Amino acid sequence: MERLKSILLVDDDDTTNLVNSFFIRQLDSTLKVHMVRNGREAIEFLQSASRKEDMPCLMMLDLNMSIMSGWEFLDVYSEKFYDQLKEDVVIVMLTGMDLDDNTMAMSHPSVVDMIQKPLSDIKFRALVTKHFFSD
């Protein structure tokens, strides 16, 4: 995977993060997978990435989290990071069945795709192919 070097999983459910990292590592064991539990930790992670090479290429973001939700994260991300990272970071929402959330998330300029929970190896492969290997 040439363009996809690191992934940031943002979800307050540790089990979800572990399962997602399992599917990701099955696809490519050399990928760096970072996990944080809420939007605030994701912002801190991005702020600590001092070089462009330290930024994740893909962020998989849950919407409903404690401390800082996915929505709140997207507001801060849009203000502080979007212009600088829009060409380099793909943000994908991990979502449940709430159709209103799905519609709102897909209308956000930072969000490029949405995956229904739970993630699977087939869904992850399709996501990577679509956003990192298509022209």
Per-residue pLDDT of 10-22, as tens digits, reads 999 999 999 899 8
Distance, CA of 7 to CA of 67 (rounded, Å): 21
3-class secondary structure, 17: helix
In the chain, the percentage of residues whose pLDDT exceeds 90 is 40
Q: Say if residue 59's pLDDT is above 50.
A: yes
Residue 1 has a pLDDT of 39
Residue 98 has a pLDDT of 63
Answering whether pTM is above 0.85, one says yes
CATH code of the domain made up of 6-132:
3.40.50.2300
Name, in order, each residue with C-beta under 8 angstroms of 32's C-beta and a sequence gap of 6 or more. 5, 6, 7
Tell me what the mean pLDDT of segment 35-56 comes to.
89
Q: Of 24-28, 50-54, 124-128, which gets the smallest average pLDDT?
A: 50-54
Which of 32, 43, 84, 83 has the alpha carbon at shortest distance from 65?
43
Residue 90 has a pLDDT of 92
pLDDT tens column, 63-106: 889 999 998 999 999 999 988 888 889 999 987 766 566 666 67
